[in-house]
Amino acid sequence: MRLISLLRLAAQAETLRWKRTGRGVAIQAALGAGAAVFGLMLLIMLHVAALIWLARDQGGAGAALIIAAVDLVVAGLLGWLAARHAEDPIQVEAQRVRDDALRQVGDTASRAMMLAPLLRSRSVKKGLLGAAVTAAVVGFIAKR
């Protein structure tokens, strides 16, 4: 029963971890798309007005360079916001719970494998020897 409960817990933790990971990716994608749309609309709507306003004092080339510098700053800021990756504490905790449950499943299974030869054997010496050999093999595999 405990083995099944641990496996169920590990599966639930993994499901929660993937949901939270997907949520984080979706939020990053939405921020990136919003940044792209905002940047495009802002540039289209304001460029013409700014170019006309700046061209009076700076001339056409100077006005275009000033607008390009502002565009670069805005694009860099929005790109940085979209690229930043903050860890979700719930996702990290779900991964820890999953790892703990799977470790306990492995421990329970290895104990069962060590006791199986002892329970099957009719001779105590033979059963203890089989249990010791099984324990050594399981320990060797677990360390890999």
**Tens of pLDDT along 50-69?**
888 888 888 888 888 888 89
Rounded Cα distance between 123 and 144, Å, is: 32
pLDDT at 26 exceeding the cut of 80 = yes
pLDDT at position 94, please? 87
| Separation in Å, CA 16 to CA 22, 24, 25 | 10, 12, 14
Is this model's pTM higher than 0.75 or not? no
Element (H, E) at 111: helix 89-120
Mean predicted confidence (pLDDT) in 24-49: 87
Rounded Cα distance between 52 and 47, Å, is: 8
CB–CB of 28/85 below 8 Å?
A: yes
- Residues 6+ away with beta carbon under 8 Å from 130: 117, 118, 120, 121
